[in-house]
Amino acid sequence: MKIATAAYPLDQFNQWSDYATKLEAWVSEAAGQGADLLVFPEYGAMELATLNGPDVAADLPASLRAISDKIPQVDALHAELAAKYGVYICAASAPVYDDALGPDPVNRARLFSPSGEMGIQDKQIMTRWERAPMGVVPGGPLTLFDTALGKIGILICYDSEFPLLARALAEADILLVPSCTEALEGYWRVRIGAMARALEGQCVTVMASTVGDAQWNEVADLNTGMGGIFGPPDAGFPPTGVLAEGTLNTPGWTVTEVDVDAISRVRADGNVLNATHWNEQPARVQDVTQRRLR
C-alpha cells in the first residue's frame, strides 16, 4: 500500500465551499500519487472556526462549540471523498461535544473507509493545555480498526508518548499519530514517541503535523512539524527506522510505500523480537532493590 501523511497548514475561510475545495484538493493530490491511506493532523479542524467569523475563531470556548457543530457536515464530506477517490482517510481531529460522554469536549479523530463508513477514536490522555484552559477530557476507549489495508490504531499526539496505550493496540499493523505541536521540542517528543512505538510493537507508525502560524486561533496559533512514516529498525525496514519524512514546516504530503507483510515477517523472525518479548517485563520488575553506593 501507499501511505500519505500531511504537513497541514490552517487557513481562514469565508464560506463552506472554500473549505470543501481545500479538502478535496488535498485528497485528490494524495490519491493522484497512489495513496491508499491519508492521514491528517490533530486539531487541523480548528480552521473551521473561521467560518463563524474572526470573533468566534479568536474566542476559545466559542470556537470549540462552532467546530463541534460543523463536524457532522465535515464527516459527510470526508465520507464522500473517501468513496469518490477510493481511499481511507484519517480526518483531522476536532473538539467534539458528545452528550453520551458528558458536558465537556473530547478530541476526536475519525477514520473513513472507501465505502464511506466511519470509525471514531478519541484522545486518551490530555496535555496540560487541553486540561486547562481548553477543558478537553478523555473520550471513548481505544479501538482497533480491521481494514483491507491491515489492522489500524490511532494514538492522537500525546497518546503516542505512552507505551501502554500502544500495547493495548499491539495487534495493529499501523498506528496513526495525528499531531499538533507548537515548538520543535514538542514535535520531537511526539516523533520520538512514534518511533519508540514502532520499535516496541514492530509495526509502522504514521505521524501527521499541523504547520505554520494561525494567530487567529488560540489552540493552534503556532505550529512546528512535518510528516513522517516510521518502522522498526530491523530486517525489511531502513536501518534508521525512517521510511519517509517531509521537510520541517513545509506544507504538503509525505508519501511512501509500506509492505504490511514486512511487519508480519519482522514480528515472526526479526533480529530482535520486541513485540513477543514484551510480556517478559513484569517478572523482571516485581522486586526492584535499592542499594546505596558511596
- State residue 58's pLDDT score: 95
Domain hosting 262: range is: 2-278
pLDDT value of position 231: 98
Amino acid at site 41: P
| DSSP secondary structure string for all residues of 161-227 | G-HHHHHHTTT-SEEEEEE--SSHHHHHHHHHHHHHHHHHHTSEEEEEEEES--TT-SSSSS-----
Find out whether 38 and 27 touch, Cβ atoms under 8 Å. yes
Q: Which residue has the cell 519517509?
A: 244
Closest CA relative to residue 76, chosen from 112, 52, 36: 112
Is residue 17, in this structure, part of any structural domain at all? yes
105-112 vs 88-97, strand pairing mode: antiparallel
Q: What is the pLDDT of residue 151?
A: 98
Query: Is there a domain that residue 33 lies in?
Result: yes
Q: What is the pTM of this model?
A: 0.97
**Residue 4 contacts residue 253 (beta carbons within 8 Å):** yes
122 in a structural domain = yes
Domain count across the chain: 1
In a domain, 291, yes or no: no
| pLDDT at residue 282, rounded to an integer | 94
pLDDT at 275: 96
Residue at 283 is within a domain: no
CATH number at residue 84: 3.60.110.10
Q: What is the pLDDT of residue 284?
A: 93
Does some domain include residue 284? no
- pLDDT score recorded for residue 89: 99
Q: Does any domain span residue 292?
A: no
CA dihedral 6, 10, 15, 18 (to 10 degrees): -40
The answer as to whether 59 is a domain residue is: yes
pLDDT of the residue at 259: 96
Position 262 scores a pLDDT of 97
Residue 26: the pLDDT is 99
DSSP 28: H
Low-confidence ranges of the chain (pLDDT < 70): none
Q: What is the pLDDT of residues 30-60, one digit of tens each?
A: 999 999 999 999 999 999 999 999 999 999 9
pLDDT of residue 91: 99
pLDDT for 20: 98
